A and B are shown apart, each in its own frame.
Chain A
Amino acid sequence: MTDEQKYMVADKVKKALGDLIVSIEQPRPNRIYVVIHQDNFPEAIRIVHENLGGKLCTSTALDVRDAVELIYHMELPEDMVLCNVKTLVAKPELKIGTCANFFPATDWIEREMSEMYGVTFENHPDPRHLLLPDGWPEGNFPMRGDYPQRPDGFEEQLPDIYQKDRK
């Protein structure tokens, strides 16, 4: 597939997503970045997955001061383009709809982003911890930019099994 054909993919994505798009750019032929409002985000992922044949590479969360930025990296293998769907989830509510109910591939990564950044994915089918232990103190999100190296009262809140270790 030539570069010109790859640049046509942006039009295809524009047509499929329609009014949901806040902005779209294609800095390189094989990379598209689409920005979506947080309320329409699960719908946009559904369209990219079901209508455009997008497969999920992974999702990235980033702490950007007033919000947490989510990027779902969706590969379109037939178009040979990586389509990155982005949104900003506003602090302090940090609530967004889940994609895991119709797209199981997002299940685990949403659990990871939720425990590391404190984003709540509403109606998630399995909202347990993924990487952190089950007794992890609430309100501690280690990948946040403002997370202190030694949070106050963190060790007292750990489950008993760690307390014994400490003594």
Chain B
Amino acid sequence: MKKTILPIGPYHPLLEEPEFFTFYLDGETVVDVDVRIGYNHRGHEKLATGLTWDQVPFLVERICGICSTSHPYAYVLAVEDLLDIKIPPRGQFIRSLIGEMERIHSHLLWLGLAGHFIGYNTVWMWAWRYREEILDACEKLIGNRNHYAACRPGGARRDVTPEAMDFTMGALDSNEKATKMFLGAVSDDPVIHKRLKNVGILTKEDAIAYSALGPTSRPSGVRWDVRESDPYDAYGASLDAKAWKVIVLENGDVFDKAALRVLETLESIYLCRWLIENMPDGDIDIHVGNIPEGEGCGHHEAPRGEVFHYVRSDGSNKPIRHKVRAPTFNNLPTYKASCPGEQIADVALITAAIDPCYCCTERVGVVADNRHTTLNQNDLLKLSVEKTMEIEKKLGMKSNLAKF
């Protein structure tokens, strides 16, 4: 059979980070995949070398709009590693609390979009409704729904009030109920099982070879969570108190990636509750003077995996080198391992399962038998929804999916 080339990309207006995929197909089966990035290179590493140490957190906060506390968090950990200082416990707890709140709302965002992709728009609406409460709680806690500016070298930038913590407890309670409902829905629904099980498997060997991170590697049985393997701030104490646990699953397919995110949301809710209940009194930060010569590495477990920052100082008021690595950089190349052998209708799901910024599915040009057909994002979505409806038909269920 003739090989077909299926280009997907390069822009998607839904979320950030444009990418360009070239899928090599044999019939409907993917044989190989090539990923090109670089459409949105903003030069943060170069810009950071022109800013003072205290200005850089505001710059790196703008790298990502969803996990906006992860980059400043990793950066301040790198600077504190360079300085070799310990910050006051209350500052540690506030930073970890914001980091976990972010994980909850980011996972709910992904869950909603994943539901939308397979045609379950109810999941989409409900997940985002509960995400809203978490965002409101973030605003009460630190002053903004997103872009919190909660971290600074030496501690937290702002204190949290008891009223805000009470409000957050309420939001966490209602989210716990909702997450348990989602967990029941995922594990009971036969259509979701058929649609997601054994699709886009990333084996443990491949996850290690590609150094996949976070919710892309842990469903494949790789136990690597920076919060556990290099505990920072309040995470060490919370692990000792058994407030939460690291979730590791076995199969590495899309189903496990979805289940892991739901289970992790639940663990984050427990951890947030523990952090609020055990919030210590005292200062939130210490004074950081001149940054001496040296180098430091900092990493934070962001919702999508480990965020890594490296800084080097020559004793001046600016870093001479600042390296930023976002989790998607390590996770995207895993498509080379997880896509071959899959159907085109599943590709939208697999490429969404690592939770990149979905930017890939806007325009699809199918080059086959010298005829050019162009599929856009809706067509690809339709392919995916149609497959779900087919499964429902086979199971003898009455389909209630909206026609696209």
Contacts and interface: CB of A to CB of B under 8 A. Distances in A.
Given A82-B230, A84-B297, A108-B329, A73 B308 contact: yes
A66 B168 CA distance: 54
Interface in A21-52: 27-28, 30-31
A130 B308 contact: no
B223 A57 contact: no
B323 A58 contact: yes
Contact of B210 (A27, A84, A104): A104
B358 interface: no
Contact of A77 (B37, B223, B336): B223
B255 interface: no
B310 interface: yes
Contact of B84 (A28, A57, A84): A28
A60 B310 contact: yes
A112 to B, nearest CB: 9
Contacts of A103: 209
Contact of B230 (A56, A75, A143): A75
Contact of A55 (B37, B224, B231, B333): B224
Interface stretch (B22-30, B38-46, B131-139): B38-46
Given A28-B84, A62-B321, A129-B38, A105 B230 contact: no
Interface string B204-215: 000011110000
A131 B229 contact: no
A129 B230 CA distance: 33
A27 B81 CA distance: 10
A109 B37 CA distance: 12
A132 interface: yes
Contacts of A58: 308, 310, 323, 325, 329-330
B323 A80 contact: no
A82 B312 CA distance: 16
B248 to A, nearest CB: 12
B267 interface: no
Contacts of A27: 84
A157 to B, nearest CB: 18
B299 interface: yes
Contacts of B308: 57-58, 73
Given A58-B308, A142-B46, A80 B229 contact: yes
Nearest to B324: A58
Contacts of B102: none
A96 interface: no
B306 interface: yes
Contacts of A31: 81, 297
B329 A30 contact: no
Interface residues of B, number: 32
Contact of A80 (B46, B223, B230): B230
A55 B211 contact: yes
A85 B91 CA distance: 32
A129 B37 CA distance: 9
Nearest to A106: B211
Nearest to A56: B211
A40 B224 CA distance: 28
A81 B231 CA distance: 10
A62 B224 contact: no
Interface in B35-91: 37-38, 41, 45-46, 81, 84
Interface string B228-244: 01110000000000000
A28 B232 CA distance: 13
A131 B310 contact: no
A162 B41 CA distance: 17
Given A105-B330, A130-B38, A73 B230 contact: no
A84 to B, nearest CB: 7
B321 A57 contact: no
A36 B41 CA distance: 31
Contacts of B84: 27-28
B224 A130 contact: no
Contact of B306 (A28, A57, A143): A57
B48 to A, nearest CB: 12
11 contacts: A55-B224, A58-B329, A60-B310, A60-B323, A62-B312, A77-B229, A104-B336, A130-B38, A131-B41, A132-B38, A143-B46
Interface of A: 27-28, 30-31, 55-58, 60, 62, 71, 73, 75, 77-78, 80-82, 84, 103-105, 107-109, 129-133, 142-143
Given A27-B84, A84-B297, A105-B211, 11 more contacts: A58-B310, A75-B299, A78-B229, A103-B209, A105-B209, A105-B330, A129-B38, A131-B41, A132-B41, A143-B45, A143-B46
